[in-house]
Amino acid sequence: MHNSADIPPHRFSAAPMMDWTDRHCRFFHRLLSAHALLYTEMVTTGAILHGPRDRLLAFDPAEHPVALQLGGSEPDDLATAARIGADAGYDEINLNCGCPSERVQKGAFGACLMREPALVADCVTAMRGAVDIPVTVKCRLGVDDDDEEQRLFQFVEQVSAAGCKTFIVHARKAWLKGLSPKANRDIPPLNYPLVAKLKRERPDLTIILNGGLASVAASSETITDLRLDGAMLGRAAYQNPWDLAEADPIFLSLIHI
């Protein structure tokens, strides 16, 4: 990774956001924070394998550290896309297991993968076999009427057994029926204590909190209180980008927590 050696790579990151975190947005964010880990928009395996991959994967070297988020559920395709992403110079490959949009559901990936941990484990195994850079997963607490704790803990248990050591947890369930992706960002209630419990029970894993964090300062306070490994800021990073200028001094001060 291209972070300062003193800062854990996931201490603070800016979330992957469709139609927002393109290369121009990421370059701008890098001007405000030297150390934040930046994520691409979700890119589907089909787009990488069959679309204009050079344009989709292009980024400026100044964006490092930068991670590629993939959308897909077919292990071989994900492995090939991950290898292409690593060859393009990305620092991490992230699998999307949290997006609730109908378009994503029809592709059999995103949040619906929370109910297929064995498949996600196969995907992680395939990607890890294809690349030497970290493979991480971004997920929800569950979907629809799932028991949050049971679903999340079962998912993490199986996927971590495949070698994924970093989970970015959007701390609410996804409602796949009847709620738009926009509503899914607000209506299912946040459950930060469950994410903290996951970390307590799996101290061997890197657990990053996402969802409902309104600012860099709030992010640092929350992960300190909950003893989590890092925070991922979403809409706030896009809608109030100047707040990212606070990230480096605030999170540098937390390197020993």
Could you give phi then psi for residue 138, rounded to 5 degrees?
A: -110, 125
Three-state DSSP class for 238? Answer: helix
d(CA 100, CA 175): 7
Residue 103 CB contacts under 8 Å (≥ 6 apart), including other chains:
none
The catalytically annotated residue of 99, 112, 123, 164 is: 99
Query: Which residue do the tokens 């029970």 mark?
Result: 201
Residue 32 CB contacts under 8 Å (≥ 6 apart), including other chains:
241, 242, 244, 245, 247
Residue 37 CB contacts under 8 Å (≥ 6 apart), including other chains:
3, 9, 10, 12, 13, 14, 65, 66, 67, 91, 92
d(CA 126, CA 22): 26
| 99 labelled catalytic | yes
d(CA 231, CA 189): 18
d(CA 77, CA 83): 10
List, by residue number, the catalytic residues: 99
